[in-house]
Amino acid sequence: MIVNENIEYLQKHYPVMLSLSIADLRIGAHMMVLRLSDGSIGLASSEPDDQIHCAKENRDFGDFTPLKIIGKSLSQLFNTSKTTAQVNTLRIAAINAVSNTINRNKSARIIRNADLIDLLNPDKSRKVVMVGAFHSYIRKIIASGWQLNVLELNRNAMFPEHLEYYYPDDKYPEVLHDAGIVIITGLTLVNNTFDDLIKACPEEAQIAIIGPSSNLISEVLFSKNISIIGSTLITRPELVFDLVSQGAAGFHLFEYCAEKVFILNDKKH
């Protein structure tokens, strides 16, 4: 699992970071944001937790439940046996926070003020597969002349005029097998579908992973044949917690307190 590989990387190369603790946390309708004790901020897309509606005898009031998260160390977070959606999202947000320092230490090539479309291979004979309905990119890819398929869990997430490009998510093996360019939502890290998707991609495909959850440790993602990591740089940290707690989605962050940046795999460019 890609999240576990990031944790193992931290344990091996940056064990001192495991003593950092969760200093602040907001969980909104669409995303989670946390601040670690060193001031670093991490984001992740939120997923509904299927353990909320449970029998009284199964209700959990222990570690990593409300009022028992702040102050917990990354070591405790990564070593807990709990596997709820919320704990998994917490792990991703925490890795997201520490990865900013790690990626800078590794001198990762970071591009600001760029558009993902401009970073893609311009060969229009290559089929583009998008995992997740990123509408602005769908329009740009169609306008640029690439062949496009969109894998999406929710058919209703597609605009009616784009339904001809839609494939249900369970069709991923047949849709991805001949892809030349693959754009994957970072939500696949949260819902644990990333590993299966990446295995289905051709070795020669140019693969980008984008969205608030995507900013994990670049060296680990690059080892999975990722070419481009679409990351979120928080430019006004004093706003991000209020935004998330008021139901912000990614586009709200980019309007008020963040900008898109891209981390490039030099071995693939």
Residue 95's CATH number? 3.30.390
Residue 56: per-residue pLDDT: 80
Q: What is the pTM of this model?
A: 0.92
Residue 137: strand, helix, or coil: helix
Report residue 264: phi and psi, to 5°: -105, 140
CATH number of the domain residue 243 falls in = 3.40.50.11590
Whole-angstrom Cα distance, residue 119 to residue 62? 46
pLDDT tens, the chain, 269 aa long = 899 999 999 999 999 999 999 999 999 999 999 999 999 999 999 876 666 667 787 788 989 999 999 999 999 999 999 988 899 999 999 999 999 889 888 777 889 989 999 999 999 999 999 999 999 999 999 999 999 999 999 999 999 999 999 999 999 999 999 999 999 999 999 889 999 999 999 999 999 999 989 999 999 999 999 999 998 999 999 999 999 999 999 999 999 999 999 999 987 65
Residues 6+ apart with CB under 8 A from 164: none
Residue 269: per-residue pLDDT: 58
The answer to whether the beta carbons of residues 184 and 213 sit under 8 Å apart is no
In total, how many domains does the chain have?
Answer: 2
Residue 81: per-residue pLDDT: 94
Structure-token pair, residue 260: 């898109």
Whole-angstrom Cα distance, residue 141 to residue 135? 10
**Which residues form the domain of 98?**
2-105
Whole-angstrom Cα distance, residue 243 to residue 153? 26
Structure-token pair, residue 98: 């520490």
Structure-token pair, residue 269: 């460019």
Write the DSSP assignment of 193-242 as a string of letters: -HHHHHHHS-TT-EEEEESTT--S-HHHHHTTT--EEEEEEES-HHHHHH
Single out the residue in 77, 105, 133 at which a domain terminates: 105
Report residue 233: phi and psi, to 5°: -100, 120
Same domain? 170 vs 41: no
Same domain? 77 vs 97: yes
Same domain? 40 vs 121: no
Q: What single-letter amino acid sits at 250?
A: G
Same domain? 125 vs 216: yes
Within 10 Å of residue 196's Cβ, how many Cβ atoms?
12
Same domain? 11 vs 100: yes
Whole-angstrom Cα distance, residue 255 to residue 61? 37
Same domain? 120 vs 181: yes
Same domain? 132 vs 264: yes
Same domain? 94 vs 172: no
The answer to whether the beta carbons of residues 174 and 146 sit under 8 Å apart is no
